[in-house]
Amino acid sequence: MHLQDVLLFLTICETRSLAKAARRLDMSPMAVSRRLAGLEQELGVRLLQRTTRSVSLTEEGTEFLPYARALVEAEEGAKSLFSGKTAGAIGLLRVTAPSGFGRRNILPLIPELLSANPKLNVDLQLNEDVVDIVGGGIDVAIRIAPLRDSTLIARKITDNPRIICASPAYIQRYGRPDSLQQLSEHHCLRLTSVPQWTFDAAGQNKSISVEGRFSSNNVEGVRELCVQGVGIAQLTRWDVMKEIDAGALVEIALSDAQPQMLSVWALLPTTRYLPQRTSLFIEALKASLSPKK
């Protein structure tokens, strides 16, 4: 397998067009089509569906994509070992993460990563959407919600249970709920995408509907209103740890239910040929979230 043909395949995937790939690589469209056909023949599978206007990945092409990227990146990494220039992680690191967690826990890591690795570039996408990390060329996706069965590889970063919290001012005015029944009688602030709050009650997951006058599609909005004393919130520990440590929020324990256990996960398209930049990012994030001794 020729690496130049693998690079050609990646360029077609990025441009989604044989003609655009040909212009970028300074080749004729016929040469691009011929070399792609040769790569497919060598692998024994069809990687791309072609039409007159666009191309799209087949199932086999989707499976091959992360390996193709790893092959090209491995060559670049090998060359850098003997270049006599700067060592360290190289290439473009693509990361996706929930917006609230990413702003608070990932963005602070980026300056040091870039400083320590001069040939590293980072594309950080912060949103609440569950993106296709293989098709989107994502190296690692950080997720906190319960994981669904998939072909992706999951690595646990740290525990991140959901907790109930409120400001001291709210508790002084409205009291502290002691049970699920009492909780349902309070002003609750919730994420728009989480209409019910889930707990561990007697070893079973129990979800309850909560009422309140405010909801938001991001963690920052719920956390800010909670600090202002507008209501009680259910967020994950890493979302509110700073506020709890500072006394701006108080964790509320219920007598008949425990917080739902969640974790921070790093999802990878594959662990074979894992780029150094991905491993370095995961270790940096894990170290930053480890309990300080």
CA distance 204 to 207: 10
Tens digit of each residue's pLDDT (9 = 90 or more) over 62-112: 888 877 877 777 666 666 555 545 456 888 899 999 988 999 999 999 999
Give the CATH number for residue 49: 1.10.10.10
Q: What is the pLDDT of residue 216?
A: 92
In the predicted model, is pLDDT for residue 1 greater than 80?
A: no
Token pair listed for 76: 């670049």
Of the ranges 125-129, 199-203, 270-274, 286-290, which is most confident?
Answer: 286-290
CA distances from 273 to 152, 263, 279 (A): 15, 25, 11
| 269 in a structural domain | yes
Q: How confident is the model at residue 149 (pLDDT cuts 50, 70, 90)?
A: low
Q: What is the pLDDT of residue 292?
A: 64
Same domain? 230 vs 104: no
Give the CATH number for residue 137: 3.40.190.10
Same domain? 40 vs 129: no
| 86 in a structural domain | no
Of the ranges 147-151, 192-196, 220-224, 257-261, which is most confident?
Answer: 220-224
Same domain? 221 vs 268: no
Which domain-ending residue is among 51, 81, 111?
81
| 211 in a structural domain | yes
Domain count, the chain: 3
Q: What is the mean pLDDT of residues 125-135?
A: 79
| 70 in a structural domain | yes
What is this structure's pTM? 0.70
| 281 in a structural domain | yes
Q: What is the mean pLDDT of residues 262-282?
A: 84
Q: Which amino acid is at 182?
A: Q
Same domain? 60 vs 184: no
Which domain-ending residue is among 81, 103, 133?
81
Same domain? 137 vs 197: no
Same domain? 132 vs 269: yes
Of the candidates 49, 39, 54, the residue with the CA atom closest to the CA atom of residue 6: 39
Of the ranges 26-40, 66-80, 147-161, 217-231, which is most confident?
Answer: 217-231
Contact 141, 263 (CB under 8 A): no
| 53 in a structural domain | yes
Same domain? 40 vs 53: yes
User: What's the domain range around 47?
Assistant: 3-81
Same domain? 143 vs 273: yes
Question: How many C-beta atoms lie closer than 10 Å to residue 88's C-beta?
Answer: 14
Give the CATH number for residue 196: 3.40.190.290
| 47 in a structural domain | yes
- pLDDT exceeding 90 applies to what percent of the chain? 43
In the predicted model, is pLDDT for residue 153 greater than 90?
A: no
Which domain-ending residue is among 81, 99, 131?
81
| 229 in a structural domain | yes
Lowest mean pLDDT among 51-65, 233-247, 276-290: 51-65
Q: How confident is the model at residue 253 (pLDDT cuts 50, 70, 90)?
A: very high
Same domain? 133 vs 173: no
CA distance 260 to 156: 16
Same domain? 65 vs 49: yes
Contact 156, 143 (CB under 8 A): no
Same domain? 32 vs 77: yes
Residue with tokens 């004729």: 28
Q: What is the pLDDT of residue 168?
A: 97
In the predicted model, is pLDDT for residue 6 greater than 70?
A: yes
Mean pLDDT in the chain?
86
Same domain? 253 vs 267: no
